[in-house]
Amino acid sequence: MSTFELPKSIEPLKFCQKAGRGGQSILSGQLDVGQNLAIGELLEGPDKPNHSVVVQAELIFGQDQMGFSMVTGELHTQIKLRCQRCLGLFDYPMDIQLSLSPVSSEKELESLPDYIEPLVLQPDGSLLVSNWLAEELHLALPMVPKHENREMCELTLPKGVTLE
């Protein structure tokens, strides 16, 4: 685990081009994206508005066999979600695999084959890292967060209270 703080903004295409075909350029570190996660009630709720969500990231920049720029790697974090069965909070570990091709124009986006997911950059080629990581977490969240089973819900309820 790296405790290096990721830069606020990066230029993924430059990293990929620099690494070249078959090459790799690795950026690993962490970033608190709590301010960028507007998940409201699904998360910690109004009782804790300024939560911190530290994402551990390993990002690998390079080019695939076809010469497409690719950002691969992993994100790891743990967030608190509110169970929609018992309304208790529970820790939800997130481990996300990335495989995206950075594009900075409509034209580049259109030239990507269907099987490659785009990573859309600003027109100047920059990417705000915290916004992006928060978006990746959003995409990986469960639609309806719940404890794994009813027994785990019962454990979080105050004594004497049972689920209907």
**Range 79-98, binding Zn ion (CB under 5 A):** 83, 85-86
Binding flag, residue 100, Zn ion (CB under 5 A): no
**Could you tell me the CA-to-CA distances from 103 to 48, 61, 96 in Å, in that order?**
36, 13, 21
Task: Rule CB under 5 A: say whether 53 interacts with Zn ion.
Answer: no
**Residues ≥6 apart with Cβ < 8 Å to 20:** 62, 63
- What is the three-class DSSP state of 5? strand
DSSP code, position 147: -
Q: Minimum Å distance from CB 164 to Zn ion?
A: 13
Q: Select from 53, 62, 70, 147 the one that contacts Zn ion (CB under 5 A).
A: 147
Nearer to Zn ion, 120 or 152 (CB): 152
Judged by CB, which is closer to Zn ion: 118, or 142? 142
Q: How many of the chain's residues bind Zn ion (CB under 5 A)? A: 5
- 42 touches Zn ion (CB under 5 A): no
Smallest distance, Zn ion to C-beta of residue 163, A: 8
User: Which residues on neighbouring strands pair with residue 4, listed in sequence order?
Assistant: none
Q: Interface residues for Zn ion in 12-31 (CB under 5 A)?
A: none
- The answer to whether residues 25 and 62 touch, using CB atoms and an 8 Å cutoff, is yes
Determine how many CB atoms are found less than 10 A away from the CB of residue 71: 23
Kindly state the smallest distance separating residue 130's Cβ from Zn ion, in Å: 30
- Answer for the pair 154, 163: CB distance below 8 angstroms, yes or no: yes
Q: Determine, following the binding rule CB under 5 A, whether residue 71 of this chain makes contact with Zn ion.
A: no
How does strand 127-128 pair with strand 9-10?
A: antiparallel
User: Using CB under 5 A, which of the segments 43-51, 58-66, 76-84, 121-129 binds Zn ion?
Assistant: 76-84
Judged by CB under 5 A, the stretch of 21-29, 72-80, 98-106, 147-155 that binds Zn ion is 147-155
**Of 55, 142, 139, residue with least CA distance to 100:** 139
Residues lying near Zn ion in the complex (CB under 5 A): 83, 85-86, 147, 153
